[in-house]
Amino acid sequence: MESLTALLVGLLVAASVYLMLARNFLRFLFGLILLSNAANLVIFAAGRMTAGAPALVPEGASVPDGVIGNALPQALVLTAIVIGFGLLAFTLALTFEAYRRLRTLDSDEMRHAEPDEGKTEAGR
């Protein structure tokens, strides 16, 4: 199961790198989303995948009985998903605003903060 997940992570990273190499920022953002999911899967797989029960403590006992799944990576992944979701939502809003104001998402043409010294004002 872990090796299958590892392969999936590799596939996701490859796809995200392909997307992130594009000049269009929206494609870059999609690549970032895939990379974010790959990172979450890495944490999930690193906690070892077992076919155990959820880590619930039965009433009256102080430890769960039988084989249980590792609950910590699940908590970590959940945190990472929530944070990642917030950040990506912000980035998407930023992308939209940037497109509305700059009229482009081509990173070669986004030179407002660092104007290309070689080109004239009219050439941009």
CB of 4 to another protein, least distance (A): 16
CB of 59 to another protein, least distance (A): 22
Both structure tokens of 6: 């590892």
CB of 7 to another protein, least distance (A): 16
- Residues lying near another protein in the complex (CB under 8 A) are found at 20, 25, 28-29, 32, 35-36, 38-40, 42-48, 72-73, 76, 79-80, 83, 86-87, 90-91, 94-95, 97-98, 101-102, 107, 110-114
Q: Is 12 exposed, middle or buried (0-12, 13-18, 19+ CB in 10 A)?
A: buried
Q: How many CA atoms lie within 13 A of 110 on its CB side?
A: 14
Q: What is the CA radius of gyration of the chain?
A: 22
Do residues 95 and 26 lie in contact, with contact meaning Cβ atoms separated by under 8 Å? Answer: yes
Instruction: State which residue, 63 or 101, has the beta carbon closest to another protein.
Output: 101
Instruction: State which residue, 53 or 82, has the beta carbon closest to another protein.
Output: 82
